[in-house]
A and B are shown apart, each in its own frame.
Chain A
Amino acid sequence: MIQQSLVRELRAICGSYGVLDDPDALLVYESDALTAYRHRPAAVVLPRTTRETRESVAAIARHGLPIVPRGAGTGLSGGAVALNDAIVVGTARMNRILGIDAPNRRAVLQPGVINAELSVAARRHGLYYAPDPSSQTTCTIGGNVAENSGGPHCLKYGVTSRYVTGLEVVLPDGEVIRIGGQGRDAPGYDLVGLFVGSEGCFGIATEIEVSLLPVPESVRTLLAIFDRIEDAGRAVSEIMSAGMLPAAMEIIDGATIRAVEDSVFAAGYPTDAEAALVIEFDGLEAGLKGDAERARRRCLATGAREVRTAQDEAERAALWKGRKKAFGAMGRIAPDLLVQDATVPRTALPSVLRGISRISARHDLVVANVFHAGDGNLHPNILFDRRDAEELERVERASKEIMRLCVDAGGTITGEHGVGLDKKHHMTLIYGPDELNAMWGIRRVFDPGETMNPGKVLPDETQPVAAAVPA
């Protein structure tokens, strides 16, 4: 139970609408988009400025309570879940674009700005923000920074980390620091790079500087249909090794195609196909035709049964539709969905995909694959019903086997969704005690009292006995 004195203090800082402590109002905050983990926070604070954030954090720290930063709650690893009666500090009211500096292709934002809104605002200047998570119409830039999010077009352009050039951060004790800014070039440790991907454990980003790119002049989109998913995987790796660099290469498998086509999102993909590969090139019109033609031929040579090409913006949207609506469609065919997120070397895609289908068959589960194929970033999604305890157990076993398979193929346990609560017990698959110890140490550099998003990322049992860093 939260002390009323703290609630009063927080209301004095953020205004009466800025603090929620009514149990019903708190319900919305009990999970992120991975609804398997639910914990109701003790309260939610919604500051409007850095000053309000700093004062709120300091007040909560004085009361010795843990804090969980939160953006839009679209995270898929349980990162924004408030364990142990933590207080959520949400950025929903810090949603202003503070400035777009077009000559330097730069923008400065509050953390609660929605990813897609930045690109809309930048478009007036012929610019856009490159990292485009599939959740971009709802997720916040602050959440993207915390997760180092990716998206379909990160194949060509790289993930969030490359685009963040400066941060203002409220540390767990209420101190405010500025790192980077006006570019990320000043000599010294790359603290901005270190903060990006810290999953809310190092502090709250209250101001974010990002770099923007010119909107590409032209885009060419292809959709290749395959009878075997391994062939689609092979097409991806051949296109890359032939020296082409598409902006995006995305695969959805047969199970996903059928889910989409059975839903209100039907996109006209053939339902007897086992894979659909969306390929997109962008850049100057002059170079695109040749690239698209070469990619088309590669797909046919690796066994595509047909390759469709978009002629205009409407057709382009149609080709993308199946990919973009995949998660929405899956939500309709099973009560629960476990979204996995592992990366493997591109050349391992065909064998790993075969392995995943063997694992799902062995555990008698439906696994639907939707993924950023160009980056080797897989999302094998397990469809299930959590009310069935026995099935739940099979899901957990299969999930662990899939992780192990990806790691053994030279990959990693998360490509973009983060570790959060969900994957922290998989961390020992890829890191030994020294690496985990170093991560504990770096967490304590920022958060010596472990009050910022505690219980996330690092497995509890690896916690070193003595603090690694002298305070």
Chain B
Amino acid sequence: MSASPGSVAEIQALIRSAAAAGTPLIPVGRRSWPGAGGWAPKEGRALDTTPLKRIRHYEPADLTITADAGIGLDELDAGLAENGQWLPIDSPGAGSGTLGAAAATGGFGPLRQRYGATRDNVLGLEVVTGDGRLLRLGGRVVKNVAGYDLVRVFVGSRGSLGVITRVSMRLFPRPEEDRTLIYRVRAERALAMATALRRGHLPVAAVVLGSGGMEGGGGRAATLAARILGGGRGAREITGRVVAALGADPDEALRDEASRRFHDRHRQWEDDARLMVRLRALPDRLDEVVAIAQPVAAAVAGEIAADARNGVVRVKTPAAPAGRDEVVAALAGARGRVEALGGSLALDDAAGELGRRVGWVGRGGGAGGIVRRIKSLFDPHGVLAPRCPE
């Protein structure tokens, strides 16, 4: 049972009547991440945002775009490509999702070092809050400090504070060249290479690592992929320096379309996950975090992938491990160890029972009072079912 309002006014009306009836709503885009990492409960009526999908304002020379929340990032990208521009959102799963969901989940992917996270590039939002009010926040200019920055609190609020109906984003020139150098090496060597790249301060756009089934090979075999974006001479120069820093020629060098496809695949890697665990700590702890992730991968027969620049390590399995005691113990143990490093372990996807037993996000931030008050400010009747963990 879901509602598909065809206008913002209908969304407002729907929210108001849901508030009166006391029936919870869950805003959704293309439903590629319905549980939203434990924020969205299973029960509740879905509020479909995909009927609203027009581009409202696009002046290429401004490098900004304003569009309805329901437009797919893939649809948007096609139009931007014609003008040599792009929206470098590469958070996991983002390619198949909507613009509104990208803003609502506020994630980031390996390109963050180069382009910033989604939250850094959202310029403005239009949002219907839990009491049916329409707020127009921020704007469509790239610098704006007029008033408190409410945009930031809605980006990443995962549908718990309001339904995002329109988004203004900062755009970037599409890189002239897209190259990826691929090294197939043992896992320890891949980690050492990632460290060398980090220390070298080279302007590599992204460094990702995969193990297990990701790029073939099993056991301790791993893949390191270094992505280089830029104009001709610059890209060639960086490529040369990366090869020099790593002391070896790549096993494969991908260009343009092939390079993009490789990273699209990497982004979609978790699409079939039934269990997805995300560990994160400071980038120089990557080796330790991978070591912490390994017993989890073993317990669930999963694969590991890492975003080296951002210190993110993910474990996924396409099978659904039940809340078996050893899986729970492995996850709890890993969370303890990564939190001791100052990091975190979150379940991005999991069966409800496992999520409840392990806890979706772990240690809270210590600002629970503020989190609760923000929720009751924007959703005073508790109509929007998703909840932010405190």
Contacts and interface: CB of A to CB of B under 8 A. Distances in A.
A103 B288 CA distance: 15
A64 interface: no
A291 B231 CA distance: 9
A182 interface: yes
A162 interface: yes
B148 A197 contact: yes
Given A412-B146, A423-B146, A189 B284 contact: no
B136 interface: yes
B230 interface: yes
A287 B377 contact: no
Contact of A193 (B60, B149, B365, B371): B149
Contact of B172 (A104, A245, A414): A245
Interface in A230-251: 237-238, 240-241, 243-245
Interface stretch (B150-158, B205-213, B216-224, B350-358): B150-158
Nearest to A377: B143
A214 interface: yes
B365 A346 contact: no
B9 to A, nearest CB: 14
B16 interface: no
Given A103-B199, A126-B201, A189-B374, A442 B145 contact: no
Interface in B169-227: 172-174, 176, 198-199, 201, 203
Contact of B377 (A181, A201, A240, A445): A445
B131 to A, nearest CB: 10
Nearest to B127: A438
A104 B141 contact: no
B143 A188 contact: no
B247 interface: no
A417 interface: yes
B150 A439 contact: yes
Nearest to B143: A415
Interface stretch (B294-302, B319-327, B340-348): B340-348
Given A419-B146, A419-B147, A193 B174 contact: no
A395 interface: no
A196 B302 CA distance: 39
Interface stretch (B40-48, B61-69, B92-100, B265-273): B61-69
B116 A158 contact: yes
A190 B172 contact: no
B238 to A, nearest CB: 7
B143 A290 contact: no
A102 to B, nearest CB: 9
A106 B152 CA distance: 22
Contact of B62 (A189, A283, A347, A434): A347
A48 B278 CA distance: 39
A188 B201 contact: no
B276 to A, nearest CB: 13
Contact of B173 (A244, A430, A470): A244
B71 interface: no
A343 B231 contact: no
A469 B129 CA distance: 14
A126 B312 CA distance: 24
B143 A150 contact: yes
Contacts of B248: none
B173 A161 contact: no
B370 interface: yes
Contacts of A427: 146-147
A287 B237 contact: yes
A417 B145 contact: yes
Nearest to A215: B201
Contacts of A445: 370, 373-374, 377
Interface residues of A, number: 88
Contacts of A375: 141-143
B57 to A, nearest CB: 8
B268 to A, nearest CB: 21
B135 interface: yes
B374 A442 contact: yes
Contacts of A466: none
Contact of A468 (B281, B312, B346, B377): B377
Contacts of B233: 286-287, 289-290
Given A190-B153, A284-B237, A468-B377, A154 B366 contact: no
A143 B221 CA distance: 49
A118 interface: no
A54 interface: no
B143 A343 contact: yes
B234 A103 contact: no
B318 interface: no
A464 B201 CA distance: 51
A410 interface: yes
Contact of A187 (B176, B234, B343, B361): B361
A162 B118 CA distance: 11
Contacts of B134: 434
B84 interface: yes
B59 interface: yes
B280 A439 contact: no
Interface string B377-389: 1100000000011
A30 to B, nearest CB: 24
A26 interface: no
B234 A283 contact: yes
B375 to A, nearest CB: 9
Given A103-B284, A283-B234, A419 B346 contact: no
Contact of A237 (B61, B142, B148, B371): B61
10 contacts: A161-B120, A177-B367, A189-B156, A191-B370, A194-B153, A198-B149, A290-B232, A412-B139, A435-B150, A442-B148
Ranked nearest first, the 3 interchain pairs of A and B with the lowest CB-CB distance are A287-B234, A193-B152, A286-B237
Given A103-B283, A103-B284, A194-B149, 8 more contacts: A177-B367, A183-B282, A185-B344, A189-B371, A190-B152, A284-B237, A412-B141, A434-B133
Interface of B: 37, 59-64, 84, 106, 108, 116, 119-120, 129, 133-137, 139-150, 152-153, 155-157, 172-174, 176, 198-199, 201, 203, 230-238, 280-284, 310-312, 342-344, 346, 360-361, 364-367, 370-371, 373-374, 376-378, 388-390
